[in-house]
Structure 1
Amino acid sequence: MENQTLSTDILLLEGLKVNPQSSTLAFILLLLIYIFVMVSNISLLVLIFMEETLHQPMYLLFCNMSINDVFGATIIIPRLLSQVFVLRTERYIHYIDCVIQAFCAHIHASTSHTVLMIMAFDRYVAICNPLRYGIIMTNRMVVTLSVSAWMVSLVLVLILMCLTIRLSRCRWIIFNPFCDNASLFKLSCESVLINNIYGLTYTVVLLGSSIGSVTLTYLKIAVVCVLSKKKVVNNRALQTCTTHLAMYIILFVSGAILIILHRFPEFSDHRKMAAILFHVVPPAMNAVIYGVQIKAVRQKIFTIFTKNTVNVTEVKGLSTD
């Protein structure tokens, strides 16, 4: 039946592979992770926009990452949750919905790299050219960098998906927890050589640019720190760069595991789990890492909780009086 020509745009999505006995646990775990991702990232966004002292390029650029994390988690997790208790033979999805999900999933993955690249540039200017930082990193530059990060991802992924949707389909089963480009073009019986060539080029260009720019940035920062004898400057560089580097390593390792497992068909189930974790782990960790490591953000969070505690204590005191 899989090799027959389709007369419908309805596909069968494999979804999350869990035993019936583990369905409830998987649902609760995914739901808690999703709630955590949404609350942590949205709270950090609200804090940055509400506090004028945090209206600095570093924090405003990070807003791109929080928005992207909320976007990426929302694209993947809700559909997984909705199908946990549905039989695998009844997990249907419309072809258009599948294309949209794949498009958004790749936008999220690509933008994660481009945003970290512009954040690396911000750290480079702040540490290597501190006297010119205010001149270079203006509001206009922040907007330009942010728009560029999203537009580059949009163009790259748009070409990727256009090459896929031009193909006819002779299969109807998506062997993946969610829709992605590879799963979609595997539905076709036509030659997908162009898709594979562009997909490889897209991956090499994106990862090569990401790794190259971040590596070059940190090498220059390291040189400045070694030559500088000011401990205050070095400590500040270490604090902000450690945060950015931790976020980049989490993203890179998550993506590298997924790419490596693609080369080993016998580990297909592990690859599918890694694909889910790629859209779950970085979004869950980024806001925590940034919120805990950056002193200004940490102080604001502490101040808010302290005020709330004091207000609650005062209310209780007045009620007892």
Structure 2
Amino acid sequence: MELKNSSRVSLFSLSGLEDETKETKHFLFSVTLICYLLIVLINLTLILTILQEKSLHEPMYIFLCNLCINALYGTAGFYPKFLSDLLSGHDVISYEGCFLQAFVIYSNVLCDYSILTVMAFDRYVAICRPLQYHSIMTNQAVVKFIVFPWVPPLLCEGVLIFLSQRLNLCGSNIEKFYCANWSIARLSCSSTIVNNVVGYIVIFVYLAHVFFILYSYIKLIRTCLKSTENRRKFMQTCLPHLFSLTNVTVAVFFDVMYSRYGSNNIPQRLRNFLALEFLVIPPLLNPIIYGIQLTKLRHALLRMHKKVNEVT
């Protein structure tokens, strides 16, 4: 292991799968490859359908398209490297590659919360203030709501990565199969107070996103109780959103809690599951749930499927 200025290492080892046999890794490779191909196929299908169907050029579907793009962005930071490691058996990553992977994976998580916040606001305006919807959700506002979920998360994660790079590291073994800010900070032999403070500020900011979403849904539920039509809209468009929010929040909670306070007494396979869940379930299930639940989107997908069958 090379050291640079007593703090930089040339390689990090990823020990999440070090106890697995070669046969197990080959099995995991097959399952992971199928999972990744499904994620790419399902999310790309929704993106192309929304872009091609003029009837879906509405804020709700545009924001859903943004959510699918973010899923492809985040999973691209994990799956290709993980598949390569499973195939080669070399569970290592370069210093620069480790920070890049951590940046992509965790900025993806923050983007998810921002996109879900925008989608919650859109549903709140559509159901609680329908007469003002088109005056609020103008083309200019929609553009801002597309950009907003990306810029702050990228900046926040950039700051966290910068702070992690400043740490003096006393080791190079990361007890996961991908890189994370928290895992790198645990290798530090210098103070991580600044990292912790900034990290908790970021967590607080995005918890505020969650509280905003919950507050908007309390308003939505109160409004929907007064109207059968609004109840139908809530069941169709809001339940998938709540499912997405719950799913990503539970997954990230387990990942952060393990990364910060995880014990070696926890079985490695359970730790691997907790670390991997938010990179598998949300990007795979979110587009499926929305595709099934949203009537206009479901009909558009069926039309697209019919056209593909006619061509072939």
Structure 1 and Structure 2 fold alike (TM over 0.5): yes
CA contact (8 A) 1:2 1:173 kept: no
1:125 aligns with 2:122: no
Distance in 1, matches of 2:307 and 2:7, equals 62
Match of 2:252 among 238, 251, 255: 255
Cα 1:296–1:264 change in 2 (3 A) is: same
Distance in 1, matches of 2:184 and 2:8, equals 17
| Aligned match of 1:38 | 40
Distance in 2, matches of 1:97 and 1:48, equals 33
Match of 1:51 among 50, 53, 63: 53
AA matched with 2:219: K
AA matched with 2:245: Y
Q: How many Å apart are 1:7 and its aligned residue?
A: 7.2
AA matched with 1:213: F
CA contact (8 A) 1:128 1:224 kept: yes
Q: Output aligned runs, 1:177-196, within 5 Å.
A: 177-196=177-196
Distance in 1, matches of 2:67 and 2:252, equals 16
| Mean CA deviation greater in 34-43 or 271-280 | 271-280
Cα 1:170–1:293 change in 2 (3 A) is: same
| Mean CA deviation greater in 166-175 or 296-305 | 166-175
| Aligned match of 1:286 | 286
1:213 aligns with 2:212: yes
Q: How many Å apart are 1:267 and its aligned residue?
A: 1.9
| Mean CA deviation greater in 65-74 or 77-86 | 77-86
Distance in 2, matches of 1:58 and 1:100, equals 31
CA contact (8 A) 2:77 2:104 kept: yes
**Where has structure 1 moved over 6 Å in runs of 4 or more?**
1-4
Q: How many Å apart are 1:248 and its aligned residue?
A: 1.1
| Aligned match of 1:237 | 234
- Give per-residue Cα distances to partners, 1:215-242, cap 9 Å, x unaligned: 100100011112x23x223212221011
AA matched with 1:80: F
Cα 1:225–1:192 change in 2 (3 A) is: same
CA contact (8 A) 2:49 2:304 kept: no
1:174 aligns with 2:174: yes
Question: Does the residue aligned with 2:13 lie in a helix, a strand or coil?
Answer: strand
AA matched with 1:40: I
Distance in 2, matches of 1:21 and 1:254, equals 28
AA matched with 1:13: L
| Mean CA deviation greater in 76-85 or 30-39 | 76-85
Question: Does the residue aligned with 2:93 lie in a helix, a strand or coil?
Answer: strand
Cα 1:258–1:10 change in 2 (3 A) is: closer
| Aligned match of 2:15 | 14
Distance in 1, matches of 2:177 and 2:301, equals 36
**Larger Cα Rg: Structure 1 or Structure 2?**
1
Q: How many Å apart are 1:56 and its aligned residue?
A: 0.2
Question: Does the residue aligned with 1:93 lie in a helix, a strand or coil?
Answer: strand
| Aligned match of 2:69 | 67
Q: How many Å apart are 1:60 and its aligned residue?
A: 0.5
| Aligned match of 1:272 | 272
Q: How many Å apart are 1:121 and its aligned residue?
A: 0.3
Q: Which runs of 5+ in 2 are unaligned?
A: none
TM-score by structure 2 length?
0.91
TM-score by structure 1 length?
0.89
1:153 aligns with 2:150: no
Q: Which runs of 5+ in 1 are unaligned?
A: 313-321
Q: How many Å apart are 1:214 and its aligned residue?
A: 1.1
Question: Does the residue aligned with 1:84 lie in a helix, a strand or coil?
Answer: helix
Distance in 2, matches of 1:240 and 1:6, equals 50
| Aligned match of 1:77 | 79
Cα 1:205–1:311 change in 2 (3 A) is: closer
CA contact (8 A) 2:113 2:209 kept: yes
CA contact (8 A) 1:2 1:170 kept: no
| Aligned match of 1:316 | none
Please give the root-mean-square deviation of Cα atoms over the aligned residues, in Å.
2.2
Q: How many Å apart are 1:36 and its aligned residue?
A: 0.4
Distance in 2, matches of 1:271 and 1:116, equals 27
Distance in 1, matches of 2:49 and 2:152, equals 28
| Mean CA deviation greater in 155-164 or 122-131 | 155-164
Distance in 1, matches of 2:285 and 2:150, equals 21
Distance in 2, matches of 1:295 and 1:147, equals 27
